[in-house]
Amino acid sequence: MFQFINTLLIGITSGAIYALMALAIVLVWRSTRVINFAQAGQALASTYFGYQALQYIDSFWIALIIAMAGGAILSALIEVIFMRILLKHTTSGAIAGVAPIIATLGLLEIIRTLVTLKWGGADVIVKAPLSNTGFSIGSNTLVFSPMKLAIIAVVTVLLLVFSVIFQKTSIGLSLRASAFSPELARLAGIRVDRIRTLGWAFSGATGAVAGLLLVTNGNGSLSPASLEFSLLLISGFIAAVIGGLESLLGSVVGGVALGIITAFVLMYISDSLFFIAPFVVLLLVLFIRPQGVLGKKGGRRA
Amino acid sequence: MSLEVRNLTVNHGAITALSDISFTVPEGELVAIIGANGAGKSTLLRTLSGLKDASHGTATWKGHNLLSGKAETHVRQGVAHVSEGMSVIPELTVEENLDLGAIWRRNKSEAATTKAEVFDLFPRLQERINQSADTLSGGERQMLAIGRAMMSKPQLLLLDEPSLGLAPLLVKQIFDAISNISRQYGLSVVLVEQNAMGALKIASSGIVLNLGRVAMTGTSQELISDPAVQAAYLGY
C-alpha cells in the first residue's frame, strides 16, 4: 500500500510536467497545425532564462515568471519570423504540410547551439526552492516531497488560469474560434494572425514552466545536451496524442495518465523499460483509440 | 448608403470565376443573386467580404473600396457575411457563437442589447443557449449563423445559400426571417440562392449570373415573369 501511494504520487508529479508540455504542443498545433519540435529547445532556453534570473534574485518563483515571459517572447518571435513566412510560401505541393515541421527540427538545433554558446556546455545547477526530501509517514519516508507537492500546485494553478482565460474571456473565445475556424474568425473581425502569435506565446510560457519544473523535480542539474528535454518533448507529444491533440483538457488527462502509467511500470515491472514505456502507451492508444481518449471520432479537418 | 460594384473580375488561378460584374444594391433593399452551381455566386460574396482577392474592379460601400480591405476589417464597416453551409463553429456553444459575432465591438452593453434582439428574432436560440452548436438541427444552425451576423450590427448583410439543405417548411421560415430582418433594420442584403423562386419572392430586384457573367438583371417581378428565367431557374 505504501509503495502504491508513493508510486502514484511520483507518477502524478511527472505527469503534471508532461501535461504542461502536452498543453504547449496542443496550443501550437491548434493555432498553426504544426507539431513544434523546437518546443524542447524553447523549454531549454527558457529554463536557462530562469537560471540566469536566479543569479540576480533569490526568489525561484519570480525567476519562474521571468522564464515564462522570456519563453513567451521567444515563442512569439519564432511564429512571426519563421512560421508566418514558411506557411505563406509553402502552400502547395508535397512540401506544404512538412516544411514547417522540418523547420522546427532545425530550430531545435539552432536554439540548443545558441544556448551552449551563451551558457556553455557544462552542467549548471538550478536550486529547488523547496526541499526534495520526501515526507515521512511514521517510520517510512516517501519519495513525494514538498517540491513535488509544489509542482502539482503550480501546474494546477496554471491550468485553472488557462481554463478561465479560454472559457471566460473574449481573448479565449478568439483563440478557440481562430483554432476551430480561421475563416469564420476573420469574418467576425478577429485578427487571426495576431491571435496565432498569442497562441504561440502562451505555448512558450507553458513550456518554460515545464522546463524549470522538470529540472527542479530532478537533481537540479541543467545542460544543453540534457536528454531530459528531448524526453520531455516526446512525453508531451505522446500525452497530447493520448488526449486527442485538439483538446486542452485532453492533453492534461493524457499527461497525468502517462506519468502514472510510466511510474507504475518502472516500480512494478522493470526500470529498464523507462525509455520504451511511453512508446508502448502511444502505440496502444493509436491501435485502440487513434482519435485520442477524449478526441471525437472522425475528427476535424486538419 | 448603397453598395456599388463596378467591373468586378475575379480569377481562380488561370480560370476566370467572375468577369466584369456590375450592379448596385440600394440602401435598405434586398437583392437576390441567382444562378446555377458554378455561376460564381459564392465567389462574388467571398470577394465582397474580403476572403478572396479581386483581379479588377471596385466595390464601394460607405466610401470604402471593399476590394482593397481585409475580411477582419470589413465587419467594422458594417458588412456581415454568412458563408455557405451553416456558418457556425460546431465546437462552441450557441451563446459563444453569438458572442463571436460581437467580439470586435467595444461596447459590451450594446452588444448585450443586440443579443436580446437576436433572441427575440429566434427564440429557439435562447432555449439552446448553452448547448454546443453541433447539437442543433439544420434550421437552428442557420438561425444561429444569421444571428451571429446580426450580432455585429451590420448594415450590409451578405447571405450565401441560407436555404441549402433545409426542409421546405424551414426554407420558408428562413426566407421570412431574412425578409423581416431586412425591413425591420433597414438592412441592405445580398442574397445568393439556388432556390431562385424563394429568393426572388422576398427580393426587390434580382441578378442572374451565368458562368461568371451577369446574364440578366431586373426587378423581382420582371425576372419571375420572364420566360427564359422561368425555364432555366424557376422550374416551369
User: For residue A178, what is the nearest residue in chain B, using CA coordinates?
Assistant: B89
What average pLDDT is seen over chain B?
A: 92
pLDDT (mean) for A194-222: 95
Is B92 within 8 Å of A185 when comparing Cβ atoms? no
Q: Which of A210, A205, A198, A209 is nearest to A169 (CA)?
A: A198
Distance CA A96, CA A101 (A): 10
Instruction: Pick B75's closest partner by Cβ from A173, A181, A189.
Output: A189
Distance CA A39, CA A125 (A): 22
Which sequence spans correspond to the domains of chain A? 2-134+148-227
CB contacts, 8 Å: A183 with chain B: 51, 71, 83
**Backbone phi, psi, residue B69, to 5°:** -95, 180
Residue with cell 448608403: B1
Q: Which domains does chain B have, with CATH numbers?
A: 3-234 (3.40.50.300)
Buried b (16+ CB within 10 A) or exposed e, A215-253: bbbeeeebbbebebbbbbbbbbbbbbbbbbbbbbebbbb
Is the separation of the CB atoms in B54 and B47 below 8 Å? yes
Q: List, for residues A59-110, the tens digit of each pLDDT value.
A: 999 999 999 999 999 999 999 999 888 877 777 777 777 888 889 999 999 9
Report ipTM (2 d.p.).
Answer: 0.91
User: A166 and chain B: CB distance < 8 Å anywhere?
Assistant: no
Distance CA B235, CA B220 (A): 16
Distance CA A162, CA B30 (A): 44
**Is A212's pLDDT higher than 80?**
yes
Q: List, for residues B112-122, the tens digit of each pLDDT value.
A: 999 999 999 99
DSSP state, B132? B
* Closest chain A C-alpha to B227 CA, distance in angstroms: 38
Q: Which of A30, A45, A55 is nearest to A210 (CA)?
A: A45
SS3 B56: strand
Q: Show Cβ contacts of residue B179 under 8 Å, excluding neighbours closer than 6 positions.
A: B30, B202
Distance CA A130, CA A139 (A): 22
Strands B64-65 and B56-61: antiparallel
Residues of B with CB under 8 A from a CB of A: 49-51, 70-73, 75-76, 80-81, 83, 87-92, 96, 99-101, 103-104, 148, 152
What does the block give as the cell for B84? 455557405
Q: Show Cβ contacts of residue A256 under 8 Å, excluding neighbours closer than 6 positions.
A: A11, A12, A15, A16, A18, A19
Instruction: Pinpoint the alpha helices (H) of chain A.
Output: 2-32, 39-54, 60-78, 84-89, 99-119, 146-168, 170-180, 182-187, 192-217, 227-242, 248-264, 277-288
In DSSP terms, which residues pair with B31 in a beta bridge?
A: B190, B205
- Kindly give the confidence (pLDDT) of every residue in chain B, 236 residues in length, as a single tens digit, with 9 standing for 90 and above: 799 999 999 998 888 899 999 999 999 999 999 988 888 899 999 999 999 999 999 999 988 889 988 889 999 999 999 988 768 999 999 999 999 999 999 888 999 999 999 999 999 999 999 999 999 999 999 999 999 999 999 999 999 999 988 998 899 999 999 999 999 999 999 999 999 999 999 999 999 999 999 999 999 999 999 988 888 888 76
User: A186 and chain B: CB distance < 8 Å anywhere?
Assistant: yes
User: For residue B149, what is the nearest residue in chain A, using CA coordinates?
Assistant: A188
Instruction: Pick B96's closest partner by Cβ from A173, A181, A191.
Output: A173
Distance CA A10, CA A237 (A): 20
